Amino acid sequence: MSEVRATFTLGRIAGVRVGVHWSVVVIFAVIALGLGVERLPNAYPDRSAVSYTLLALLAGVLFLASLLAHELAHAVVARKSGVPVRDIVLWLLGGATRTRTEAPDPEAEFRIAGAGPATSLALGVVCTAVTWLLVALDAGPVVEVVAWLAVINFLLALFNAFPAAPLDGGRLLRAALWRRSGDRPRATAQSSVAGQVFGWVLVAAGLVVFLWSGAFGALWLALVGWFVAGAASLEGQQARVRQLLAGVPVTETMTPRPATVPADATVGGLLSETSPGYDHPALPVVSSSGAPIGLVTRERLRQVPVEKHRALTVAEIMVPLERVRTTTPDQDLAELLPRLEPGPEQRVLVVEGAEEPGPAGGGRAAPTRLLGIVSPSDVNRTIRRLSEHPRHQPAGH
């Protein structure tokens, strides 16, 4: 299954970028039908259709806020555990907190995974207390909305606690298996199998219930199961790839001595170059001393207006080094893998004289020499080579 990407960004909360996928519109539609058309009119038949609609929309907003709180809990604990967070995306089947690296140890994995369900459980308790208060105040249909929200948060906590990847419970299971065996890839593979079994059970149950009763909600259950099974399968594949790459140094994958661009080169001069080396979608930029200082992409070059080709230098339009991922030549390729993303700007520069980088290369000594560059295609080539000619895996893998 492909990764869900945000359609638009809401902004940053607690320093974490929050995005929303267009499919959340379906959530509002389902809530509007369930609450605004059936539940609220049945419980309070003497109110206007406008009030039902407004309350249903409010419930949808509060539901998304609950999902966001769940994901923010993951993000905050991850950052406190030293795991950089890329972003949060809310979409059709919930939310996803995407990190740039994995948890450093089973204890951190357990804390990060458990934060989400614990937050949903706490929200369910709070909404239950508010429901009792509103009943005492005779708050009318608002009681129904808050009671529904309490049940939803309890269900969210319960569902995510199932020990099956990619659910939070699957992360908790992986942390326990990882701690017991000391083998993270193996623990990931085991939690992935549990996730696939759980997902297909949900699919089968949803289809059987739908065929038996015709209930639309059963199809939703089948859809959730299909997502869980697919995501768990993908996680298992990624674990096998990491296991295959364990112990392989970056030097065996990188393209050595890549073509570079001098910082003082003009945009027009670079675009007119006919050397094969300049055909790459992304090129490292170096200073007069040869030290890497950034990365320039073909896309950035093409965005420069023609009238500025002679005036602007590469240094003025490049991605600066502090925003470029770097690594040392002896780093384990399996550890580098989570930091590789599609796109020309997502190259990793292999440098000499740099410490272990942060999420975007910050907090390290200035590199003194460029040794190579790693792209997703380089990694794919290494995976194919190792699949055809396996090497001896290190102990523990």
Residue 344 has which token pair? 């020309």
Please answer whether residues 312 and 371 qualify as being in contact, where contact means their C-beta atoms are separated by less than 8 angstroms.
no
CA 24 to chain CA mean position, Å: 17
Question: Which helix or strand (DSSP H or E) is residue 101 part of?
Answer: none
Quick count: other Cβ atoms within 10 Å of Cβ 223? 15
Quick count: other Cβ atoms within 10 Å of Cβ 395? 6
3-state DSSP assignment of residue 94: strand
Quote the DSSP letter at residue 6. Answer: -
What is the torsion angle, in degrees rounded to the nearest 10, for the CA atoms of residue 123, residue 128, residue 133 and residue 136?
160
Residue 152 has which token pair? 């939803």
What is the torsion angle, in degrees rounded to the nearest 10, for the CA atoms of residue 100, residue 11, residue 66 and residue 7?
-80
Q: Is 355 a residue of the active site?
A: no
Distance (Å, whole) CA 195 – CA 200: 9
Quote the DSSP letter at residue 365. Answer: P
- Residue type, position 183, single letter: D
Distance (Å, whole) CA 52 – CA 39: 9
Active-site residue, from 71, 109, 144, 235 = 71
Catalytic residues: 71
